[in-house]
Structure 1
Amino acid sequence: MDIHHEEHGIGEGRPLVLVHGALSGIGTSFGRILPLLAKSRRVIAIELQAHGRTPDIDRPLTVENFAADVVELLDRLGVERADLFGWSMGAAVALRLGTDHADRVGRLVLASVSFDDAGLHPGLLDGIQDLQPEHLHGSEFHEEYLRTAPDPAGWSNLVTKMKVLDANLPQWTPEQIRALAAPTMIVLADSDIVQPEHAVRMFRLLGGAVAGDLTGLPACRLAILPGTTHTTIPHRADWLTPMIDEFLDEDHRG
């Protein structure tokens, strides 16, 4: 599979890999923030199987397959370790890399991630199997797909495959989250699809939610964006860029 990727920015340090959300691509997930992040680092933006400019193949869409594809792309590019910034489904892919391919990961920025089904608002996915491809016609995701996909007629198949993934969301145990080696920044909208209590639970499992003035700051971070929904997180580039830059640069401070 020819995994579409774009390289932006400069820098000899660890690159930052951007992993988009479901039904999305580089433009709709990172169009606003990518040029800002690329001012100070090398950024590699990818498009996963059946998304954007990357063609589909005869294989299910799973977070595990996506994570393996990211590793394969890193191998092709000669990148030993990378930081990752994932939004929505892309955050789950980045988390899977952190738990299953820890040696390839530096730092993680996870926007709107749930590590088990209980993290989503109750009933959120009720009726998702009734979603039809035409229901999304005219959306920014559909319009991006029509502009970029090698086969614009593949939209229906993409939506069908994504419904299978939604019915079998990836799961992690609290022990797996607690054992995550990569310093991690959790990003959530205050009106997200993930419940804020879940984000705080994950933050605690990673060693956060402490009295930092007494214990020192933990390696993990939590950012909750006010007045923001799940799909408008990518619009908050001016807020997110300085927070992400500071977090990723932490390894380079004396």
Structure 2
Amino acid sequence: MMTVENQGRYADVNGLKMYYEVHGQGRPLLLLPGAVSGVSTAFGSLTPLLAADRQVIAVEFQGYGHTADIPERPLSYEQLADDVMALLRVLHITEADFFGYSTGAGVALQIAMRQPGLVGKLILASGTFNSSGRHPALAGLESLLTAEGMKGTPYEAEYLRTAPRPEDWPRHLEKVTIFNKRAQAWSADDIRKIQAPALIIAGDADIVQPEHAVELFRLLGGGSLGELSMPVSQLAILPGTMHTALTTKTALLMAIIPGFLKGGTR
């Protein structure tokens, strides 16, 4: 069963009432948010631009934004990917492009590894496939994932405005902290098997170390000499860009994303 409320929609997915928004028309592009973001803080400024010639479907994961948590179910990349794939079945979408940001990039990688037929192209922004790719100072940032540390932030405001149970905010942050501390160790061989063309994006002051973004780019088919063989995967390091600001860099992103999505495939 699917219900509609306000500007968004809800689908019954794996025990969730999963929130998603649909904007525009055309080939579907799934937007998968990160950290403690809902669709507004993750993609608010980008969505109308991307939806000019695409059907943009922006998703909120378990416990994020409008989608209520399942208290006894831990957060994991695998489970979040299961939920997104189940949503695609509800929407009768058999193939789409994916734009994953932070946590969402990991979810997109999981889908590409497990259900490659679902994935046309991948945009992986501030994403890792191994915990070693994260900045060594990240622990200092993650220590702020408490109700007190997030007080007055756009993330707190979005959650309190949209969550079915706003009082769950401190518990949600605890759950996200546990999720973030779990080791991520996907094999290079599994990443290398992904056939979908990928656009890897990171900020030069990101939580993802630039050498890890380059490694991911190479594993996904990048790094050849263009004059001899132009790779279908691409890499962009955005200047003067920290993790939480990456998806607000609309001028930079819109200079590269549309061309990638319209370009060739393997």
1:194/1:150 CA distance change after superposition, 3 Å: same
Which residue in the other structure is 1:74 paired with? 88
Which residue of structure 2 lines up, in the alignment, with residue 28 of structure 1?
Answer: 41
Partners of 1:42 and 1:127 lie apart in 2 by: 34
Alignment partner, residue 176 of structure 2: 162
- The structure 1 residue matched to 2:155, chosen from 141, 165, 169, is 141
8 A Cα contact 1:107 1:184, kept in partner: yes
Query: Which one of the candidate residues 71, 80, 84 is aligned to 2:98?
Result: 84
Moved more, 137-146 or 234-243: 234-243
The residue that corresponds to 2:22 in the other structure is: 7
Shift of 1:130: 7.6
Pairing of 1:95-174 with structure 2 (within 5 A): 95-125=109-139, 128=142, 131-174=145-188
Q: Considering only aligned residues, what root-mean-square deviation do their CA atoms show, in Å? A: 1.5
Query: Which sections of structure 1, spanning at least 5 residues, go unmatched?
Result: none
Which runs of 4 or more aligned residues in structure 1 lie more than 6 Å from their structure 2 counterparts after TM superposition? none
CA drift at 1:242:
3.4
SS at match of 2:97: strand
Q: Which residues of structure 2 form unaligned runs of 5+?
A: 1-15
SS in 2 for 1:145: helix
Q: Distance in 2 between matches of 1:110 and 1:127?
A: 21
Aligned CA distance change for structure 1 residues 78 and 226 (closer, same or farther; 3 Å): same
**Which letter maps to 2:95?**
R
Give how far 1:127 is off.
8.1
**Is the 2:203–2:246 Cα contact (8 Å) retained in structure 1?**
yes
* SS across alignment from 1:228: strand
Aligned length: 249
Decide whether the 8 Å contact of 1:92 with 1:170 is kept in 2: no
1:234 maps onto 2:209 in alignment: no
Question: Structure 1 residues 169, 30: CA separation in 2 closer, same or farther (over 3 Å shift)?
Answer: farther
What secondary structure sits across from 1:7 in the alignment?
strand
Q: Work out the CA distance in 2 between the residues paired with 1:33 and 1:128.
A: 25
Q: Percent identity?
A: 44
Return the offset for 1:193.
Answer: 0.6
TM-score normalized by the length of structure 2 = 0.90
Q: What letter matches 2:128 in structure 1? A: S
SS at match of 2:35: coil
In structure 2, C-alpha distance between the alignment counterparts of 1:233 and 1:129, rounded to whole Å: 21
CA shift for structure 1 position 207: 2.2
| Amino acid across the alignment from 2:246 | I
The structure with the greater share of residues assigned to helix is 1
Q: Which residue of 1 aligns with 2:56?
A: 43
Provide TM-score, normalisation by structure 1. 0.94
Q: In 2 relative to 1, CA 143–201 (structure 1 residues): closer, same or farther, beyond 3 Å?
A: same
1:21: how far off? 0.8
Give the Cα–Cα distance (whole angstroms) in 2 for the partners of residues 126 and 225 of structure 1. Answer: 23
1:55 corresponds to 2:55: no
The structure whose residues are more often strand, as a share, is 2
Paired residue type of 1:20: P
Q: Which residue number corresponds to residue 194 of structure 1?
A: 208
Partner SS for 1:172:
coil
